Amino acid sequence: MTDVSGAPADVLHTLFHSDQGGHEQVVLCQDRASGLKAVIALHSTALGPALGGTRFYPYATEAEAVADALNLARGMSYKNAMAGLDHGGGKAVIIGDPDVVKTEELLLAYGRFVASLGGRYVTACDVGTYVADMDVVARACRWTTGRSPENGGAGDSSVLTAFGVYQGMRASAQHLWGDPSLRDRTVGVAGVGKVGHHLVEHLLAEGARVVITDVRQEAVRRIADKHPSVAVVADTERLIEFDGLDVYAPCALGGALNDASVPVLTAKIVCGAANNQLAHPGVEKDLADRGILYAPDYVVNAGGVIQVADELHGFDFDRCRAKAAKIFDTTLAIFARAKTDGIPPAAAADRLAEQRMHEAARTPVG
């Protein structure tokens, strides 16, 4: 997947003339009364209605907002395809600082724009938007997920996201060591927030040795107080060089795998929840060259989107958990394809996702 960036003319050129874009529809939304300025980008509806969250962010320029919406929407097509969902990829961005401009009036206006697409786009939470915001958007638009349980939603998605990452990690162990068990393996978790701390619980339950780090001391303390066996290191730099580390799980911010971290990483597997772990194209090859198995981020962290998709049909935790458990098989299939094609797993995941979208687009419906 290649990034879209630059001035409006470049963005339009990418959209209509480059094989890196290929988006179906981009909607620019403005509501002067509430101050809403938003971009809704639909990359593909080949597999079904486009599904992806709403990012609320103070973009420096409108062109930057459009470029971000296009990139994120494209990413969702791949993520939803590999999660086995009957959903295409879309994403929306609302321009502005959510702490300053977010109001009920603005969210309702946004909901009306999403509703105007008649179900071609289903929205959810992302950076800067929360379950409570989706409850408001849902009052204006039925194609809204990520709502609170009181409003028919599934609530916090981090439980199933962590479960999916854990399944991806077991599949990685199976591929590399011939056994999915993480018992007595040493796993380093960078970022023990909502997803990371649930992941730690899975790992401890299986008998893994766990090492953690987080910039927030209260997040570290929450785990260390409950589980004295968990080792704590001061920062991510120390974690990635930890002696005897078998698995590295980035569960904080993007860009964890970069020119500084990959050469010194002691782990043999990388599998974590963070989005956009590869800092730039080429890092996936650097990992492969060092013999490090990388479980593609958007595949193993799909538990959250599996949950919001399920919410559309009336959320059922067990059904959803069963779907998230399939991340194990999907991850193995990616490693197998990578081996057959002689490419890194990140590229194999892209190929498999493209194949599914391509085949669905050719299948007559009805």
Ligand X SMILES: NC(=O)c1ccc[n+]([C@@H]2O[C@H](COP(=O)([O-])OP(=O)(O)OC[C@H]3O[C@@H](n4cnc5c(N)ncnc54)[C@H](O)[C@@H]3O)[C@@H](O)[C@H]2O)c1
Residue 60: CB minimum distance to ligand X, A: 21
The answer to the question of residue 274 lying near ligand X (CB under 6 A) is yes
Determine if residue 191 is labeled as part of a ligand binding site.
Answer: yes
83, 160 contact by CB (below 8 A):
no
Residue 50 near residue 145, CB atoms below 8 Å: no
Give SS3 for 328. Answer: helix
216 alpha-carbon distance from chain centroid: 22
Give the span between the Cα atoms of 252 and 242, in whole angstroms. 18
Closest separation between CB of residue 274 and ligand X, Å?
A: 4
User: How far apart (Å, rounded) are the C-alpha atoms in residues 147 and 333?
Assistant: 32
State which residue, 253 or 332, has the beta carbon closest to ligand X.
Answer: 253
The single-letter DSSP state of residue 364 is P
Q: How far is the CB of 359 from ligand X (least distance, A)?
A: 26
C-alpha 53/C-alpha 305 separation (Å) is 9
Among 71, 80, 261, 301, binds ligand X (CB under 6 A): 301
Contact (Cβ atoms closer than 8 angstroms) between residue 140 and residue 113:
no
Q: How far is the CB of 98 from ligand X (least distance, A)?
A: 15
**Residue 102 bears catalytic tag:** no
129 interacts with ligand X by CB under 6 A = no
Q: What CA–CA distances, in Å, run from 168 to 171, 181, 255, 300, 335?
A: 5, 12, 19, 5, 11
C-alpha torsion angle, residues 160, 162, 166, 172 (rounded to 10): 110
Q: Which one of 172, 213, 330, 331 is in contact with ligand X (CB under 6 A)?
A: 213
Q: Which two tokens stand for residue 61?
A: 């320029």
The answer to whether 251 contacts ligand X (rule: CB under 6 A) is yes
- In the set 4, 252, 265, 271, which binds ligand X (CB under 6 A)? 252
Q: Among all residues, whose Cβ is closest to ligand X?
A: 193
Residue 142-171 contact track with ligand X, rule CB under 6 A, x = bound: ---------------xx--x----------
Which of the ranges 102-110, 140-148, 272-280, 354-362 carries the binding residues for ligand X, by CB under 6 A?
272-280
Q: Annotated catalytic residue: which of 37, 79, 91, 268?
A: 91
Residues contributing to the site for ligand X (CB under 6 A): 157-158, 161, 190-196, 213-216, 219, 236, 251-253, 273-275, 301, 304
Binding residues for NAD(+): 191-196
